[in-house]
Amino acid sequence: MPEVIDLLAYRKNKDVAKTLQAGQVPLGLDFTNIEVVAHDIAVNDHLMIYSADDNMRKQVVSSILSQMNKDYFDSLTLVDTAEYSFVQYKDNVMHYIVEENEINVHVN
């Protein structure tokens, strides 16, 4: 496994493209087999990104959102931080939620 991965080269990888075409969300690479690790939205329709390191979480979410195609955004609910960290994606998603009461309304 290389120590540094070029993000543009990763996104152009044929396995990443196949993963996106299959409706899955590429999350990164498996260290052992150096293959694409993906979240299958057909099996698990929710994906939550959590980290104690706020900068790392923002970086991961931004990376995932930047590689999604328009069809995927049409079914996406984005729950943002109180700092509006992902406001640039607001117009791209089906639902954009920041306030706690919006989450309760959306879930119920």
- Domain of residue 63, residue span: 48-108
Asked whether the predicted pLDDT for residue 3 surpasses 70, the reply is no
Question: Are 57 and 79 found together in one domain?
Answer: yes
Asked whether the predicted pLDDT for residue 2 surpasses 70, the reply is no
Question: Are 34 and 52 found together in one domain?
Answer: no
Report the 3 state secondary structure along 56-87: HHHHHHHHHHHCCCHHHHCCCEEECCCCCCCH
Question: Are 34 and 61 found together in one domain?
Answer: no
Q: What was the pLDDT predicted at 72?
A: 66
**pTM (2 d.p.):** 0.61
Question: Are 73 and 108 found together in one domain?
Answer: yes
Question: Are 104 and 52 found together in one domain?
Answer: yes
Count of all residues that appear for the chain in the document: 108
Question: Are 54 and 95 found together in one domain?
Answer: yes
Task: For residue range 17-69, list pLDDT tens digits in order.
Answer: 888 788 787 777 777 766 888 888 778 878 888 888 888 888 888 888 877 76
Question: Are 39 and 55 found together in one domain?
Answer: no
Classify residue 19 as exposed, middle or buried by CB count within 10 Å of its CB (0-12, 13-18, 19+).
buried
Q: What was the pLDDT predicted at 45?
A: 77
Question: Are 59 and 98 found together in one domain?
Answer: yes
Which phi and psi angles does 78 have, rounded to 5°? -110, 115
Question: Are 106 and 56 found together in one domain?
Answer: yes
Asked whether the predicted pLDDT for residue 4 surpasses 60, the reply is yes
Question: Are 34 and 67 found together in one domain?
Answer: no
Q: How many domains does the chain have?
A: 2
Task: For residue range 67-98, list pLDDT tens digits in order.
Answer: 776 666 667 788 888 889 889 888 888 888 98
The Cα–Cα gap between 87 and 70 comes to: 17
